Amino acid sequence: MKKIVVTGAAGFLGSHLTRQLLSQQHQVFGIDSLSSGLIANLQEELNHPRFEFRSLDVSKLRVDHLDHFGHIDEIYHLASPASPKFYQMNPFSTIEANTLGTQNMLELAKVHGAKLLYTSTSEAYGDPEVHPQTEQYRGNVNTWGPRACYDEAKRLGEVYCYEYYTRYAVQVKVARIFNTYSAGLRNDDGRVISNFVSQAIRGEDLTVYGDGTQTRSFCFVDDNIRGLQKMMECDQANGEIINIGNPKEYTIIEVAQIVKRLANSPSNITFHPLPIDDPKVRRPNIDKAKTILAWEPLVELEEGLIRTIEMYRNKLKAELSQKIV
C-alpha cells in the first residue's frame, strides 16, 4: 500500500484517479480548494477508511500541513481549473495553482523523496502550426490574451518541474493531457463533450462555436487515468514530458452529430462566434507514450460517448427525483 497525495481531487480527473487508487488498496490524501471541483464528485469516497480530504489551496499549502499523513510515496498534482470558462473567471488562482502550487508540491516531493506527476496540458502548444503535436514542438501560444493565464501558467509549471528535476533530482514526470471526457464533468463546465451531452439529453440546441471545422482528439477518462498511472510507475519517464491523449481526430461538427445520433436527441445544432485564440487543430503524437510507457488509448469515441451519455442520463434522473422529493 502506497501513501499518495492527489491535488485537485474533487475535479473531473482527480476524482476518477482517487477512486482508482482506492480500488488498488492505496491510502489517498485528497486536496482541493473547491473553486471549480465539486465535493459531490467524492461523495462515496469521503467515508472511505483509506481516504482523507482537505479543502486547501495548493498555492498556500505548507509542507507541514501534511505531517500527520506520514511518509508520502507519490504526488499527483492535478489542481487547476481546466475549463476555459472557469480559468478565465479565475485567472489569478489559475496562475497561482500552477506556479506557487506546483512549487509547493515539488517541495513536498523533495522533502519526502516522493515521485511527482504534474498534469500539464495540450494548451502548451497553443494554436499549433505543427500537426500532430509532438513533445518537442515549442508551441504557438498567445501570451497576451484570455487563454494565457492557463496556457502560460502550465508552461511555467513545467519549468518548475524541470528545475526541481535537474537541481534536486526530484523524480518528476510531466503529462501533457489532451481533451478528456466522461461523466464527472460539471454540467456548466463549458467543455465540448459535457456541453453536447448535457444539451442532447435535455433536447436543447447543441452549441457549436465557429463553423465546427476545428478539430480535437478525445480520450476517455479510463484511458487517461491508465496512462497517468503508467507514467507514475515508469522510471524511464523521470524528467520527461509525455503526451497523454487519443490520436484520432474529429471535427467539432462531427462530434455534435455523433452525440445527437447516439442520444437519439431531437436537438438542433446552432452556430455561435468562435472564442478568441480557440485552436484550429489539436491532435497528439503519442509515439513517446507508446515507446516509454507501452500505453495507448483503447476506448473508441462512440463507445466512450455511449457510456458517457448513459451516466449523464442517470445523473439527470437522480437530480430530477431529488427535486420531486
Taking the CB of residue 57, how many other CB atoms lie within 10 A of it?
18
Q: Are residues 257 and 112 in the same domain?
A: no
The residue assigned the cell 451516466 is: 311
Q: What is the pLDDT of residues 148-189, one digit of tens each?
A: 999 999 999 999 999 999 999 999 999 999 999 997 777 677
Q: Are 65 and 188 part of one and the same domain?
A: no
- Domain membership of residue 290 (yes or no) is no
Chain mean pLDDT for the chain: 94
Say if CB 281 and CB 131 are below 8 A apart: yes
Confidence of residue 233 (pLDDT cuts 50, 70, 90): very high
Q: What pLDDT was estimated at residue 187? A: 67
Domain shared by 213 and 319, yes or no:
yes
Q: If DSSP codes are grouped into helix, strand and coil, which group holds residue 224?
A: helix
Q: Do 135 and 42 have their domain in common?
A: yes
Q: Of the ranges 78-82, 188-192, 321-325, which is most confident? A: 78-82
Over residues 272-310, the pLDDT tens digits come to: 999 888 899 999 999 999 999 999 999 999 999 999 999
Note whether 78 and 225 are same-domain residues. yes
Quick check: is 150 catalytic? yes
Q: Within 13 Å, how many C-alpha atoms sit on residue 152's CB side? A: 13
Beta-bridge partner residues of 206? 269
Domain that holds residue 26: 3-180+220-244
Q: Give the number of domains in the chain.
A: 2
Same domain, yes or no: 57 and 146 = yes
Q: Judge if 197 and 174 occupy the same domain.
A: no
Q: Are residues 30 and 46 in the same domain?
A: yes
pTM recorded for the entire structure:
0.95
Residue-level pLDDT at 320? 62
> What is the number of other CB atoms lying within 10 angstroms of the CB of residue 169?
12
CATH code assigned at 191 = 3.90.25.10
Residue 47 lies in a domain: yes
Tell me which of 124 and 316 has the higher pLDDT.
Answer: 124
Choice among 76, 87, 118, 150 that is catalytic: 150
